[in-house]
Structures are given as structure tokens and as C-alpha cells.
Amino acid sequence: MKFTLSWLKEYLDTDASLEEICTALNDTGLEVEGVENMAEVLKDFTVAKVIEARQHPDADRLRVCDVETKDGMVQVVCGAPNARTGLVGVFAGPGTHVPGTGVDLQTGVIRGVESAGMLCSERELMISEDHDGIIDFNEDIAVGTSAAEALGLDDPIIDIAITPNRPDALGVYGVARDLAAKGLGTLKPLNIEPVEGNYDSPISVSLNFPDGDTTPCPHFIGRFFKGVKNGPSPEWMQRRLRAVGLRPISALVDITNYVTIAYARPLHVFDAAKVNGNIQVRFAKEGESLVALDGKTYKLDDTMTVIADDNSAESIGGIMGGEETGCQENTTDVFLEVAYFDPIRTATTGRKLNVQSDARYRFERGIDPTYLDTGVDIATKLILDICGGEVSHKTQAGQTPDVSKTYFLRGDRVKTLGGLDVDLSRQAEILNSLGFETAVKDDGLECSIPPWRPDVNGEADLVEEVCRIIGLDNVPEVALPRFNEIAKPVLTVIQKRMLATRRKLATQGLCEAVTWSFLPEEQAKLFGGGKPEVKLANPISVELSDMRPSLLPNLISAVGRNVARGTLDVGLFEVGQVYLGDKPEDETLRACGVRRGNMISRAWNEQQRNVDCFDAKADAITALKEAGAPVQSLQVVQGAPDWFHPGRSGTFQLGPKNQLGWFGEIHPFVLEKMGVKGPLVGFEIVLNNIPTGKQKSAARPALNVSDLMSVKRDFAFVVSKDTPAEKIEKAAKGADKSLITDVSIFDVFMGDSIGADNKSIAFEITLQPKAKTLTDEDIEAVCAKVINKVEKATGGSLRG
Amino acid sequence: MTETLDLEKLEQDLIAQVDQASNEQALEEVRIGALGKKGTISAMMKGMGKLDPEQRKSTGQALNALKARVSQAIATQKEVLKKQAMDLRLATEHVDVTLPARKRSEGTIHPVSQVWEEVVQIFGDLGFSVAEGPHIESDWYNFGALNIPDEHPARQEHDTFYFNPDKDGSRKVLRTHTSPVQIRTMETNQPPIRIIAPGRTFRCDSDQTHTPMFHQVEGLVLDSDIHLGHLKWTLTEFCKAIFELDDVKMRFRSSHFPFTEPSMEIDIGCTWENGQVKIGEGDDWLEILGSGMVHPNVIRAGGLDPDKVQGFAFGVGIDRIAMLKYGIPDLRAFFESDLRWLRHYGFSALNVPNLAGGLS
């Protein structure tokens, strides 16, 4: 909310400086968003008079002016077409910073004539876009007067952010009250003399809701003014309205806006000549519509409060008046509306109609429901003073709703909740200055809440009032007691998995990305998602419409963007949430990585190689191991979800019911749909699915190694093409579990020489004797067992 | 006498031959000529059988000594030759060491993750555990339980992402803040409670300084006697620790959040130099934290008794801390996954923040 310093001082008697006022506003919770102080910006600009303007000897478009300034006579060369003898304008001397041009003025010589300053245009002062000529006051203003004052811009504008709990501070008067409580001055009494009126209003008012319910508009006061003269409002009012961003329209309209800003008391004036019969407040009829003052037509429904005459709705209650009955220049009779509208209904209506107004903003936050009578008196005085005319008696319907509330503030509560030691008498003083009535009772205060504070609903709110006026900066800091002298670990198993996986994947050369939780529907569907319950009702764009069913698609898109920028070899990973449904248990934490392009890039000493399925497998195993998965007992089975290449992908599982993750090439169809060129491989593991092992002791089992030499032997078997290598490895290892410590496949061969349906797998076994050196016979015996086991398990044969 | 002279002469000859041997093969020939089965020394050894015992003893001793000295000379020369041969070979072995090394790609950690760990380090030391909650929340946890009723104007300010209503008409939301975790924590824990809840949050907002997804960390402390002074201390210590400064200029402003009472916003002092912000001092202020004493209605919603339990809560943007601390200018770039950005602003895999070594 914006207001000017002079406006504030109309209600606050204070000597405080602008800076002190701003500090106090911030402290009390009325956050200063900005201050516009043109007096400060224009402090070096003063009024000056051109004593003589004559043609420049060497330039047609320039004039040489003798200017009377606050520092005496000065010669200025001026290019403005309106520079003339006798002009009273704004002068800036050498050294002045000109805000509109950003230039610091210097004495110069222009076409051979010295010029010691400048006569300014409005644009040069940044007060308008006008640059057709220099400022011409067209009246005699004393030379040396500050430009800001002469221009009527010497009133600083303060912009404050009002939190939704403080409707009272949506009026300058309420702001003044807070500042007075803060100790910045005295709140001036209003001193509004009620005007009785000398006739009955020809327009009467009724509340007309179903079943006599008046909660949508509990109270309405109206008043008739006849013989008013509408026209421009006085300069002082226009200036204030303009300063806070409102366009002056006419005296009657400006008065309503003025009272809204000054006292947070929205009003409305109807052109009485256009009102048919009497005024009633009722729900709109289904299908009823209204052209409002903003020129837009609003379709109303039967939950919305309207002010209607005998024919139709003429105003949307608490939100905006209608165009039909709006006041014009020629309006002579007006009907003033001062009402209280229900905040929730006003908010709902405003939202449904998508209409913003100063009135709605205040009504939906809750204005003072007892302030109707005073509001009428304030408006009456302004209308009569400015527009003249004759005023009727007040006419009203309904009554002031009872909003009285009382809460008890324990004497020590400011200390025990707010951490501030404040005398009870001081607490009472603060609350009283904010309009609370207090009575000492049982070492505490019985507090009546003022009707303009709907936000105060309990003891904690009273504590806040005291604290914010004393200032939170004054609350002494108190250390939190330590739970343990040396802190204990705080992370959960899954959090530790997340951290470990993340760091580990970064050591593998992958860069961590953080991508959106959303993606386009089409991509969601490509990766097994697209369920209606994880589709946003109001996505920010169609590109971000669904919750991600996998981390892969957003990473693949990211790869695509990097490739498009010319980075062809990309490795990215993410550890984050995936949403398979809308319940908490549908949300899993996953780790995912993708690699694209070269695994080994072209180099003088290395063989270039593309990424492949086994790079993704290695990444996945590394991550799984770091996350604490039992990698020794993990099964790897052929195939993965549909978005992987059907033949070049695999699944990690602990039995068919518990899949821990997938790896492989991404399906070329998926890549094509996403517009990303491969080769591209990836993996995704579900950190939640890793079984939580038993809490192990920190101590390791004893190291058990043999000093005897290990022996290595090579084998090659011809097996059918579809035999998993893992089967051969397991069979070989099973030949002698204690002696064979490692089986390592070093070659896979396919070729016509061994039959088109076959492959040859060569591996090396490591035999580690424990008790005695192996004899040739021992070794041969184990080798025979290996051959036997592998042949039996695979149906293959030792390659001759 | 002559025998002695002969041996001296022989030794001189043999040592000279050893010294002259210019390669291992020549040296081997010298060895065979002297010490081989048919070598000179071996022959003389054999010839000793003809001598009388006295002579045999002295000659034997002399020959043995001679044999030892020649063997030693040969061994020494062998080492010399070997070294020479190796030097010769190495002189031919040469690489251009200015050629590039084998490439090892280094990965990076995202600033959001790094700051997550920094925040956890600080609060972990104060005994805060790390709590979590779902991103897809019910209206109750995100709003109702946090004292934000349906028509509260604050609700409109949240720019909430909604899901479509289910068959009962209730609609889930994407959590607009991490505060729902407060309620979930109260439901499953008894005071004393100290948690932080870092994580993703969502607002239907996207412009120069807003992204539809961002990261917050929530804090909650509940006990019987926690007050505003504890809150101020905690946040002051946090700011000093996270920005690694001995002192941070801070301003505590009264404010409003539906879920706290009293509420305050915290600004930290800063200066701007060439578009870069310097934290901790100066005449400008940056708003970084929202906080307050947990509202009695919120404590009640969490299933606890506000007459017995009180405490504070706060929320701070993780991305915002990262931007301020590490001078990252644009929030939107956090989520664009541009490798150039990730490498520039990312952190080494082994740069794990910790209190002993420092947080950055």
C-alpha cells in the first residue's frame, strides 16, 4: 500500500524523519517496499527566472539566456523552443547530477558561448516523458524555491507491504496508529462532526436474503445528496491520489477512493437519477449480469452479493460498482453506500469473477464492521465541502455485527513465549495505544480486541502485538540447550543412501543435475506414467503437465539440450523423487544416470569407444553397492521396462518380486520420440527397494588370507547363444567353492566356426590353496570338476 | 718367489682383461678364461696336487685369494656394464611428455545438494534430525493443519499446483512449502522435537526470479519452554555458520504467517559490488528467512497440546542460500542441466561439507 508522508502526518503528530518512520514501519511488521522521495532526488534543482533570452550568435536553434538563480545571475545556452524572456522554470547548476540523462553537469562552451548550467525539461527530472520544451511554470514562483516543492513533488511516497492479517493497515489512519504505538508521535483524534441532514432519503435500503439471513451484508447505511456539483476534485486530493497510483476521475469518485485509502473504508456512490426505485442488497439471480465500472461484463450467480435497484443489480457487493449507475460529470443527485460485506463471500466472488479492486482487497481481508457510521460522516463532510449540495438523514438496514472478543494475556506470557521481559504496565500501555482495552486481572491482562483487528484470536496474538511494538531486535538471544555434548548422527538409512549414491556417481564422471518433478504427458506415457491422479490440474505449461514416473526422461531431455549446444559426450545423473501415484507410498527415491556419445573419446593414445549397455551396468552396480545393496546376491535378468532396448537391457533383482533397478540402452523409439540422438544408455535404481541389512557392528571380521601362491587356469566353452554368462560363472564357481576364489570371463566369441547358434565363452579361474601347495593332480581334479559342472549346467562343451 | 711373481702378473693380466671387457659377453669370456673349468686359475688349482703339503697350503691360499679378487672384479664390472647397457637403451626410449594425459572425466555435485549437506551439518550438530514428507500432499497437510483455512487470502498467495479432484471431491496439491512436514512430524513424535525438513517445493509461478519448483528447508523445535529468544539465537548461529562469517548483520522484522504467532522475517545485511552480493555487512538488506513461534492451532492440528508444548519453526530457501553464498546469478539455470553450468558451479565429488574442515 502506498501513501505520502504528508498524508500520514494528517493523522500522526510527529517530528520523526522519513528514515525513522521507515525503520519503525519495518520493525512493526509493515514492511517498507520502497520510498520515492523526489525532494531528495531533486534537491539540487531550484526555481529560476529567465531575465532575458536572446538568439545565439552562431546557432539558429539555440538561445542565450540570462537566468536569475538562487546564486545570482547565470548565463545558460538553451536549445528548448519555449525558452523565452520571463519564463519561470527549473535550473540546475554545474555539478548537478541530472537523473533523466545520467549526466553530471559542467560549465561548458557551446558554439563559443559559455553556459553555466541548464534549464530542465520534465523528462530530465524523470517526472514525465515530456521533452518538448523546458518546464514553464507560467506563474511567478520565488527564485530559489526547491523544484520539488514548486512541482508539488515534495511529498515523499512510502510503499509498504501489508500482510494478509492486517486489514486495518490498509488505511493510512491504521498505519498512523501503529506508528503512534511504536512511539513515533501521537495519533490525532478524528474530530468528525456528524451532519444530521434535514430530509429523509428518497431511496430506502433493505437487506433481502433468503430466510432473513444477513451474514452476507449485516449492515448497510445509505445517504442521499441532492444538488451536488461534480467536477474535478481539489488539487491536494488529486495530488495524493496520483502519488499512490490512482487516476483522479471526478470529485465524487475521488472522494470514495480517498476514504478507501485513508481509512480502509471502501464506499460507493450511485448516480441517484439512474437508480430505479429503492436499493436492496440480495444475492444475484442465476444468469444475471452486470457491466462494472471497469467496462467489463460479469456473469453473476446466486452466491454473489449484489446491490440492486428495483430493476436489476447495480453493483457487486464489496467489489465494484456498475457502469450504469456510476457518477458522471453532470451528476447532481447521489446516493452514498457504506456497507459491510462478508470477507469470505467477497473473496469467493472476486475469485470467481477474476476481478481485483481496492474494495475487494480490503473487504476480503476484513474491514472494521463497526466503522460504518463514522465512514458515512467522513464521506458526508468531504462531499459537502467539495461538491456542496444538501444531505438527507441516514437510512440504514441491518445492524453492526457483534465482533467483540476478549482474551486473557498472562503476565509472564510475553516472557515465556516472546522471550521479552516487559512490565505488565508497559504491556497494557502498548495494547491500549493499539486500541485494545485492558484490565489487570490475576497477574495478567484481560484484553478486549478492537473491531479493526480480526487477526487477533488468542493469547499468542497479544504476545505478538507487544513484541512487535517493542521490536524483535530487542529480544535477547538464548542458546538452545544441547541434547548431547558431541552430536549424535541424525540421518536415516535412506538419506545416507541418497548422499552416498550421489557422491559415488560423481566420482564416476557423471555430473549431478536437478530436473523438474514434472514433464510433458507424452513423455510420462513413454516411461510408464500418465496416470490421471498424477496429472496437474493447472500446469504452468503443457511441457510440465505430469509428475515424472521415472528420472530418465528429464535427464534424457537434458542430454538432448546439451547435444544441441554442441556438447556431444554427456554424462548426467540425478537422485530424486519419482511419483507413480498420488499417495505418499507411491513416491520413491531413485538414483538415475545417463551417458551419451563416447565413453572413451578420440585421443592420441586411446581407442575411441561409444557408451554401451555395460557402462550403464557398471554405473548401476557401483551405485547399488554404495547404497548398501547386497551386490553379491543380486540377480541380473535379461530385459527391462519398455523404454529400454528389449535386447540390450537388464534388471537387477532380489527375486522376481523385488526389482532394485534397470540398465541398458534406451529404446530407439523412445529416443526418436524425444528427439534425442544416441548412442544413449542409462540406469535407474530404486533406493527404497534396497533391503535394510541388520545393524552391523563397526568391527570387521578377522582377515583370512593364505600365504600360498594362487594358481590360474583358463577355459573356453562352446554353449548355445542364449546361455547367460552368469550361468557359466556360477557353475564354475560351484565346482569347488572353497578353492575357486574368482571366475573372470575374458572373451566372448561368435562365429561360423563354432556354429551359428553357439557362442564361445572363455574365462579364467583363480585357485587359492589354504593349507598346502596344490599338486598337479589337485589342480587337474578341480579343472575336471569345473568342466563337468559347466557342461552339465549349460549343455555346452569344452572348446577343443 | 717366481711363483709369487707369476701370480701377481696373472692377477694384473686378469684384472686388465676384466676392465677392458666392453660388454657382458666379453666379460663372460674373461670369466671362463680365468675361472672356467679349463681356465687359468682352475688349471693352477689342479696343478697343486704335485706340490708338497707345505707349498700346497700356501699356494692354495694364494690361489683362493686370487680367485676371490678376480670374481669380485668380474661382478663389479658386470654391474658397470649392465648399467651402461641400460643407459644406452633408455637413451633411445623417449616420449613427448607434453602430450595430453589419458582423459578421466570428473563428475560434479549440484549446488542444491551441496547446500543440503551444509545445512544438515549445521543443524545436525544442534541435534536436529532430518525429516521428510511427500511432495504430493493433501489439502489438510499443506493448508488446513497449518491454520490456512479455505478462504484465507494467504492461500491465494501460494500459487498452488492442484491435481484433479478425486471421486470424493478432494484434490491433492503439490506442497507449496516444506511446512506440512511439521504436522507429519508432530503426528509421529513426542517433544522434545528438533527437525529440519529440506526438500522440493512447488509454486505455479515462473519468471525471472521464480521457478515452478524450488528447494526449502523447514525447521521445527518443540519443547515445553522454547521461546523467541531461542529462535533468534538459532537463526543467528545458522547464518554465521552457513555463510562462514564471524558476524552477520541481521534484522528481525515482525511479519505474518498463518502458521506462526508471533511471526518474523529475517533480513541479512549485504552490499552489492559490481552486481555481486557480499553477505554479512553493509547498508542493504536481503530477506532470507521466515519464522515464528508455532501457532497454537498448528500444534493442536499436529495432535499435541499447545498448553504444554511450544516452540518455533522457520523456513529458508536452499537455492537462495546457494545463490547468495556461491554468487550464482540466475535461479532458472539451476534446473536447466547445462553441463557448462554444472561443471562451473558444481562441487567435487569428494568435497563433502563438514564442520571440522569447513562448509565450503
Q: Which H/E stretch holds residue A671?
A: helix A668-674
- Of the residues B106, B228, B287, the best mutation for testing chain A's interface (the one with the most A CB atoms within 10 Å of its CB) is B228
B129 interaction partners in chain A (CB closer than 8 Å): 490-492
Among B23, B57, B92, where does a domain finish?
B92
A437 with A448: CB under 8 angstroms? yes
- Are B76 and B122 members of one domain? no
- Interface contacts (A, B; CB < 8 Å): 268
- Are B77 and B175 members of one domain? no
- Domains of chain A, each with CATH number or no CATH: 2-37+156-187 (3.30.56.10), 40-150 (2.40.50.140), 205-398 (3.50.40.10), 406-470 (3.30.56.10), 493-689 (3.30.930.10), 711-798 (3.30.70.380)
Q: What is the pLDDT of residue B152?
A: 73
Q: What is the pLDDT of residue B6?
A: 80
**Within a domain: B354:** no
From CA A669, how far away is CA B168, in angstroms rounded?
39
Report, as an integer, the average pLDDT of A296-304: 95
Question: How many Cα atoms are found within 13 Å in the side-chain-facing hemisphere of A186?
Answer: 4
All three cell numbers of A756: 551359428
Q: What is the pLDDT of residue B11?
A: 87
Confidence of residue A102 (pLDDT cuts 50, 70, 90): confident
Backbone φ, ψ for residue B344 (5° rounding): -75, -45
Report the chain B residue with the minimal C-alpha distance to residue A473: B252
Does this model's pTM top 0.90? My answer is no
Q: Test B256 with A513 for CB contact under 8 angstroms.
A: no
- Are B120 and B85 members of one domain? no
**Within a domain: B103:** no
Total domains present in chain B: 2
Q: Test B227 with A536 for CB contact under 8 angstroms.
A: no
Closest to B218 in 3D by CA, of B131, B134, B287? B131
B172 interaction partners in chain A (CB closer than 8 Å): 533, 582
A512 interaction partners in chain B (CB closer than 8 Å): 107-110, 113, 342, 346
Q: Test B99 with A605 for CB contact under 8 angstroms.
A: yes
- Are B87 and B164 members of one domain? no
- Are B301 and B326 members of one domain? yes
A486-524 pLDDT per residue, tens: 999 999 999 999 999 999 999 999 999 999 999 999 999
At A484 the three-state DSSP class reads: coil
Report, as an integer, the average pLDDT of A283-306: 94
Which of B102, B117, B129 is facing A490, going by the closest CB pair?
B129
- Are B88 and B122 members of one domain? no
Report, as an integer, the average pLDDT of A572-592: 97
Q: Test B103 with A483 for CB contact under 8 angstroms.
A: no
From CA A154, how far away is CA A176, in angstroms rounded?
20
pLDDT beyond 70 at A418: yes
All three cell numbers of A261: 485509502
Closest approach of A597 to chain B, Cα-based (Å): 13
**Within a domain: B98:** no
Which of B206, B236, B264 is facing A477, going by the closest CB pair?
B236
Among B92, B120, B137, where does a domain finish?
B92
Closest to A467 in 3D by CA, of B12, B206, B232? B232
Closest approach of A579 to chain B, Cα-based (Å): 8
Cis upstream peptide for B192 (omega within 30°):
yes
Report, as an integer, the average pLDDT of A765-784: 93
A168 with A179: CB under 8 angstroms? no
- Are B316 and B272 members of one domain? yes
Instruction: Provide the domain limits for residue B7.
Output: 2-92
**Within a domain: B97:** no
Which of A344, A458, A506 is facing B349, going by the closest CB pair?
A506
A38-71 pLDDT per residue, tens: 888 888 999 999 999 999 998 888 999 999 999 8
Report, as an integer, the average pLDDT of A775-786: 94
| Percent of residues, chain A, with pLDDT higher than 90 | 83
Which of B213, B340, B349 is facing A507, going by the closest CB pair?
B349
All three cell numbers of B3: 711363483
Neighbours of A453 (CB within 10 A): 22
Closest approach of B47 to chain A, Cα-based (Å): 49
B200 with B135: CB under 8 angstroms? yes
**Within a domain: B253:** yes
pLDDT beyond 90 at B170: no
Q: Are strands A334-340 and A219-226 parallel, antiparallel or unpaired?
A: antiparallel
**Within a domain: B77:** yes
pLDDT beyond 70 at B154: no
Confidence of residue B308 (pLDDT cuts 50, 70, 90): very high
Closest approach of A352 to chain B, Cα-based (Å): 12
Q: What is the pLDDT of residue A556?
A: 98
Q: Test A476 with B229 for CB contact under 8 angstroms.
A: yes
| Percent of residues, chain B, with pLDDT higher than 90 | 68
The residue among B153 and A573 whose pLDDT is bigger is A573
Weakest mean pLDDT among A118-122, A544-548, B133-137, B199-203: A118-122
Confidence of residue B277 (pLDDT cuts 50, 70, 90): confident
pLDDT beyond 50 at B203: yes
Q: What is the pLDDT of residue B153?
A: 64
Report, as an integer, the average pLDDT of A327-352: 93
A716-772 pLDDT per residue, tens: 999 999 999 999 999 999 999 999 999 999 999 999 899 899 999 999 999 999 889
pLDDT beyond 60 at B1: no
Q: Test A514 with B343 for CB contact under 8 angstroms.
A: no
Which of B129, B236, B339 is facing A567, going by the closest CB pair?
B339
User: E-assigned strands of A365-468?
Assistant: 390-398, 406-410, 437-441, 444-448
Please state the three-class secondary structure of chain B as a single string: CHHHHHHHHHHHHHHHHHHHCCCHHHHHHHHHHHHCCCCHHHHHHHHHHHCCHHHHHHHHHHHHHHHHHHHHHHHHHHHHHHHHHHHHHHHHCCCCCCCCCCCCCCCEECHHHHHHHHHHHHHHHCCCEECCCCCEECHHHHCHHHCCCCCCHHHHCCCCCEECCCCCCCCCEECCCCCHHHHHHHHHCCCCEEEEEEEEEECCCCCCCCCCEEEEEEEEEEECCCCHHHHHHHHHHHHHHHHCCCCCCEEEEEEEECCEEEEEEEEEEEEEECCEEEECCCCEEEEEEEEEEECHHHHHHCCCCCCCCEEEEEEEEHHHHHHHHHCCCCCHHHHCCCHHHHHHHCEECCCCCECCCECC
From CA A586, how far away is CA A577, in angstroms rounded?
10
CA distances from B255 to A161, B144, B178, B227, B266 (A): 10, 20, 19, 17, 9
Weakest mean pLDDT among A186-200, A498-512, A631-645, B37-51: B37-51
- Are B70 and B144 members of one domain? no
- Of the residues A341, A412, A517, the best mutation for testing chain B's interface (the one with the most B CB atoms within 10 Å of its CB) is A517
Q: What is the pLDDT of residue B4?
A: 65
Weakest mean pLDDT among A737-741, A788-792, B2-6, B226-230: B2-6
Report, as an integer, the average pLDDT of B246-275: 91
CATH of the domain at B125: 3.30.930.10
**Within a domain: B157:** yes
Report the chain A residue with the minimal C-alpha distance to residue B170: A533
All three cell numbers of A715: 577355459
A192-209 pLDDT per residue, tens: 889 999 999 999 999 999
Closest approach of A82 to chain B, Cα-based (Å): 41
- Are B268 and B200 members of one domain? yes
pLDDT beyond 80 at B255: yes
B101 interaction partners in chain A (CB closer than 8 Å): none
Report, as an integer, the average pLDDT of A128-147: 86
- Are B133 and B230 members of one domain? yes
Report, as an integer, the average pLDDT of A659-672: 97
- Are B59 and B187 members of one domain? no
A576 interaction partners in chain B (CB closer than 8 Å): 200
Confidence of residue A288 (pLDDT cuts 50, 70, 90): very high
Q: What is the pLDDT of residue B337?
A: 97
Q: Test B124 with A487 for CB contact under 8 angstroms.
A: yes
Report, as an integer, the average pLDDT of A2-6: 95
**Within a domain: B53:** yes
- Are B238 and B146 members of one domain? yes
The residue among A475 and A100 whose pLDDT is bigger is A475
| Percent of residues, chain B, with pLDDT higher than 70 | 97
